Amino acid sequence: MPGEDDIQRASDLLWQSWQAGEAMDRLPDSMRPTTRTEGYAIQARLEARSSAPLFGWKIAATSAAGQAHINVSGPMAGRLLAEKVVADGATVPLKSNRMRVAEPEFAFRMGRTLEPRTRLYEGDEVLAAVASLHPAIEVPDSRFEDFTVVGEAQLIADDACAHLFMLGPATSADWRRLDLSRQPVTCQVTGKPDSEGSGANVLGDPRVALQWLVNELSGVGLALNSGEVVTTGTCTVPVALIPGDAVSADFGPLGRVSLRFA
């Protein structure tokens, strides 16, 4: 198991790679995590590097397509840093991004803090703590040259492939009355066929994914705080991008959001 110094060095190396837009084969043996817990310990050092409070959390690999994309068997949690959040309609760089995909996602902003505890959180009490629902687009990336072979512990350390995140405005629709698992989502890229999906691709339901995230954090002693955002994973197959693409994601009555890529 990596010691405290190794955990810090692993975090330093991943952060430096992220900021430089560079990639590595894998973490050196002495600091390489082999369990999810070790991966989360390395990831946790990210928060001290941000000049703002934690924006929220992402869930990676909540769909079969997302799991296949990074070759893991189940979901992983990652931190959303405020510096990596962009506005709806923004133009963002794609040059150093190796994944080069966009992912339309349901995102929840919390209205009440859920503290860690030994008893699992039920779905109803998690939803009662939600303040708003937002359409969103995530643009993930990895600090590993081949992110399909390094395994979940290193990918968790790598912030679960977090990179850029766009949060749309809170929906004005009465989303609590909707079956989000049945809500169609269409992702459109200029000049390419539409990519279609639904909330069912997100662990069966985005609300189930949110519940998973709360219990995953609770299990490692972390709270999900009031004001933080949770983006729940891609509703469609990750949409391939090239520089110059414009992407829009249509969530029907819940709203529509877009990004452009330089």
Question: What's the pLDDT tens digit per position in 12-54?
Answer: 999 999 999 999 999 999 999 999 999 999 999 999 999 999 9
Quote the pLDDT of residue 216.
Answer: 97
- Asked if pLDDT for residue 1 goes beyond 70, the answer is no
Quote the pLDDT of residue 68.
Answer: 83
Q: Which residue has the tokens 């937002």?
A: 134
227 phi and psi angles, rounded to 5 deg: 95, -20
- Asked if pLDDT for residue 127 goes beyond 70, the answer is yes
DSSP SS3 for 164: strand
- Integer Rg of the chain from CA: 17
168 phi and psi angles, rounded to 5 deg: -80, 175
Mean pLDDT (whole number) for 171-195: 96
- Asked if pLDDT for residue 199 goes beyond 80, the answer is yes
Distance CA 21, CA 143 (A): 8
- Asked if pLDDT for residue 150 goes beyond 70, the answer is yes
Query: b/e for 222-245, b at 16 or more Cβ within 10 A?
Result: bebbeebbbbbbbbbbbbebeeeb
H or E segment and range at residue 246: strand 246-250
Q: Which amino acid is at 108?
A: F
pLDDT single digits (tens) 246-256: 999 999 999 99
CB-neighbour burial class of residue 45 (10 A; exposed 0-12, middle 13-18, buried 19+):
middle
Mean pLDDT (whole number) for 153-163: 97
Mean pLDDT (whole number) for 173-195: 96
Distance CA 55, CA 204 (A): 25
* Helix ranges, the chain (H): 4-20, 36-43, 64-70, 123-128, 152-157, 206-219
Quote the pLDDT of residue 106.
Answer: 98
- Asked if pLDDT for residue 143 goes beyond 90, the answer is yes
CATH 3.90.850.10 fits 52-261, yes or no: yes
Q: With contact defined as beta carbons under 8 Å apart, do 107 and 86 qualify?
A: no
147 phi and psi angles, rounded to 5 deg: -75, -5
Quote the pLDDT of residue 117.
Answer: 98
